[in-house]
Chains A and B, each alone.
Chain A
Amino acid sequence: MDFSSSSEEKLIRESLKKLLESFSSEDYLKKFDSHRYDPALLSELINQGFIVDQDTNKINFDVIKILSEELGYSNSPLNPSALVSDVLITLQESSFKGLSEILKDLLSNKLYSYTSALNEPLNFEIESPKVTGKLSNNGYELSGTKILSYNLDIAKKALISFITDDGVYLALIETDQLEITSLDVTSKVPYSKLNLDGVIVSKESIINKSGEGLYLLKNIYARRVLIQASLARGMVLKMLELTAAYTSEREQFDRPIGSFQAVSHRAANMFIDHQELDLNLQQASYLYSSGSDLENQILNLKYITGNVLHRTSYAAQHLHGGMGVAKEYPLWRYCLSAKEHEIINGNSSSALEALSKNITLNQ
């Protein structure tokens, strides 16, 4: 049993903290309040080898999780999930041949040119797409809609999922001919809607062999939850630190409000919540790295991530009073991000339901 971080992990974390300092001052973040995407940060992360390991030309998911924690902590306007985890790692583990060209493009242009479009309205399980594909002469004719596709408006290609009579397929398709609509969402993250009605997907753009699609989508879901929980871990830690510092200084009735048990105990509950998230994230990460079966741990992690984000975000706002919602103080951005991650890729209730089915399965 070992709960410690390796010296390599610590080094990566320290380097990331240093890098993110220059990209997360209050004045800097303000520039992205109406459009939460920072291309300069992505470019710098690629330059410094945090996205693609420049020695092996591969993506190291352990590094991506640490990056996500630090992005969550600094509340930087960048989410690596769609580009790095959904597209690059999936291509890495699929039978797709063109990965090296994509990596070359990414390393030279340093742009968010590839994304995924997997979420659908009122579909709480990304492993079971509702977009359908009907066999046609050139491939599949699609029908349905995707939503909350990250940076789809600037991407050249998008990884999409659809279901056919022959099972689930994933395809990497050009975006230039697609009907894309930008969405105005709570956190101002650049998400888009994608109408796939009548779109023809060629067989060449399909990245998986028959029967492999569900496996790839399950892995995508597991990594999305791990990244979300990592972002959440960073966010919750920052909200906790802000709350402890604020309540230790803010005085009412001639004493710091943190010396009232009603206040300190709610902060202590935030600390317990953070630990709950942290430990379950560590366990699921370990199981993912060791290639173990982790379906229940991932569902449990999603359940816990949503609960913890919800509870800590509202506790932090409440304990700050008016400052918790004032835009002159940094907490408000964390609260909007917390709600976004609580509610996308399924939610606590849908994860609990799926977990409950697995547990009570009468085999």
Chain B
Amino acid sequence: MKIELTKNQQKLKDELKEYFSALLNKELLSEMSDPQFFEGGGPEFKKALKIMGQDGWIGLSWPKEFGGKEFTPIEQYIFVEEIMRTGFPFPFLTTESVGPMIAQYGSDWAKETIAKSILRGETIFAIGYSEPNAGTDLASLKTQAQPCKEGFKINGQKIWTSLANYADYIWLAARTNNEVKKHKGISMFIVPTDDDGFSYTPIQTLGDVTTNMTYYDDIYVSKDNLVGELNSGWNLITSQLNLERLALVNHGPVDELYHQLLSLAKSTKVDSTNALSDIDWVKSNFAKIYSGLETLKLICWKQVWGMENNVLSMTDASLAKIYGSEYFIEAYRMMMEIFGELSIIRDDSLSILNSRLERMYRTASILTFGGGTNEVQRDIISMAGLLMPRSR
């Protein structure tokens, strides 16, 4: 048992801090504070992503023959942690989950063209899973991919397709067999967003994060766009979701905010002698936030250690998702209590840390249902972890 980062991992953390501090120039920071680019997609974002591609920071987990770094899951976690601390909307779903799957299961064309362009920081994917009537029950999806002489003809509609407004491709789950059990008739496709049959309408959310409804109207894709075997998409979806769940609850952003707010509370006077951090209930809130952060960090570390050693269980991924997403909501609440009315002000002159806290609390609720609702995660724990009967 050794529960700490190695010297090399600590060195990587320091190196990343230095790298991102140089990468995030004034122009990029200004673009990142513009609500229309909260999720990326702006010119400075695209420029930075290409630089990261050139510098070899994309494709961390990928094999060296692809130009990747073959990082272990722990090092990947450190990378995501450090970049998330900066607030840069790194497209890790493209680089860390969709990309490696295309590199492993894609056609020769997909490996050569798409995978390599992801590594160069030139290609972004959006995830096309949920549909208006297939959310938590994802296997009920109805978007069809029918075999035809060109390959497949795709028709259907997806919802909550975040990043589709600027993504180059959709990582699309579509039904390819209606005759078998619902999760056995699904396949995965690479669908270009510049096809005439593709369109989207934006959905604004309370966190000012824009997501999208996406439409697929007689889109023809070649067999080369199929990833993995026909009708074997469910395994790719579940593997991708396990990776996504860990990335969603990375402890980095809250840890960064905690330290910034603690430092601010120590230097903010509430009267001539006392700092904000001298108030008893403020101290108590900070201690509770610290305690949860320690646990979340350990849960995430154990999960990446499990991935590295091939001992990751379904329950580990579900536990991380539940603990992290519910902790975030509580942590933001306690942080906002500490700074009181100031924490809800968006105006630059009075806001706390450029409204970062105000923005983060508004996006936190997405995580308790996004990436697999927490009720289903608890079902998984009781069935797979405690061997209890299936919930009805």
Contacts and interface: CB of A to CB of B under 8 A. Distances in A.
Nearest to B387: A244
Nearest to B5: A1
Contacts, number: 151
A247 interface: yes
A248 interface: yes
B283 interface: yes
B71 interface: no
Interface string B274-307: 0101101011101110110011001101101110
Among the interface residues B9, B295, B301, B386, which one has the most CB atoms of the partner chain A within 10 A?
A: B386
Contact of B319 (A267, A272, A286): A272
B286 A271 contact: no
Contacts of B301: 1, 3
Nearest to B9: A1
Interface in B44-77: 74
B80 to A, nearest CB: 16
Among the interface residues B3, B6, B280, which one has the most CB atoms of the partner chain A within 10 A?
A: B3
B265 interface: yes
A283 B379 contact: no
Among the interface residues A259, A264, A359, which one has the most CB atoms of the partner chain B within 10 A?
A: A264
Interface residues of A, number: 45
Among the interface residues A256, A296, A297, A355, which one has the most CB atoms of the partner chain B within 10 A?
A: A355
User: Does more than half of chain B's interface fall in helix, strand or loop, or is it mixed?
Assistant: helix
Interface residues of B, number: 51
Nearest to A360: B277
B390 interface: yes
Given A264-B391, A265-B378, A286-B4, A360 B319 contact: no
B391 A260 contact: yes
Interface string B164-196: 000000000000000000000000000000000
A266 to B, nearest CB: 9
B284 A353 contact: yes
Interface string A214-249: 000000000000000000000000001000100110
B126 interface: no
Contacts of B390: 259
B385 interface: yes
A255 B389 CA distance: 10
A283 B378 contact: no
B379 A360 contact: no
Among the interface residues B286, B301, B385, which one has the most CB atoms of the partner chain A within 10 A?
A: B385
B382 interface: yes
B127 interface: no
A268 interface: yes
A1 B4 contact: yes
Contact of A300 (B5, B9, B262, B294): B294
B333 interface: no
B266 interface: yes
A360 B278 CA distance: 7
A352 interface: yes
Contacts of A362: 266, 275, 277-278
Interface stretch (A12-20, A73-81, A155-163, A273-281): A273-281
A3 B284 contact: no
Nearest to A270: B386
21 contacts: A1-B3, A4-B309, A256-B389, A258-B388, A264-B386, A267-B386, A268-B378, A272-B323, A275-B299, A276-B323, A279-B295, A296-B290, A300-B290, A304-B291, A304-B295, A352-B291, A353-B283, A356-B280, A359-B287, A360-B283, A362-B278
